[in-house]
Amino acid sequence: MNHNNKSTKRNNIIYWIATVWLSLGMVSTGIVQLLQMEEETASMKALGYPYYFLTILGI
């Protein structure tokens, strides 16, 4: 293997780890909003938004 091939492989691994990590974070936040957990509904109430806004944000 030459240096360029190792660098490309390393960059691909870093890219996919970052992509999966960010995707899991976004999906988990969306699920919390769709379930309308108590903390999320309290945040929406404090901000003055209606509760159905959580469904829109979750999707």
Q: pLDDT of 15-58, one tens digit each? A: 999 999 999 999 999 999 999 888 889 989 999 999 898 999 89
Dihedral angle computed from the Cα positions of residues 24, 26, 32 and 36, in that order, rounded to the nearest 10 degrees: -160
Residue 7 three-state SS:
helix
The DSSP output letter for 13 is: H
The DSSP output letter for 36 is: T
pLDDT at 6: 85
Contact 44, 51 (CB under 8 A): yes
**Amino acid, res. 29:** T
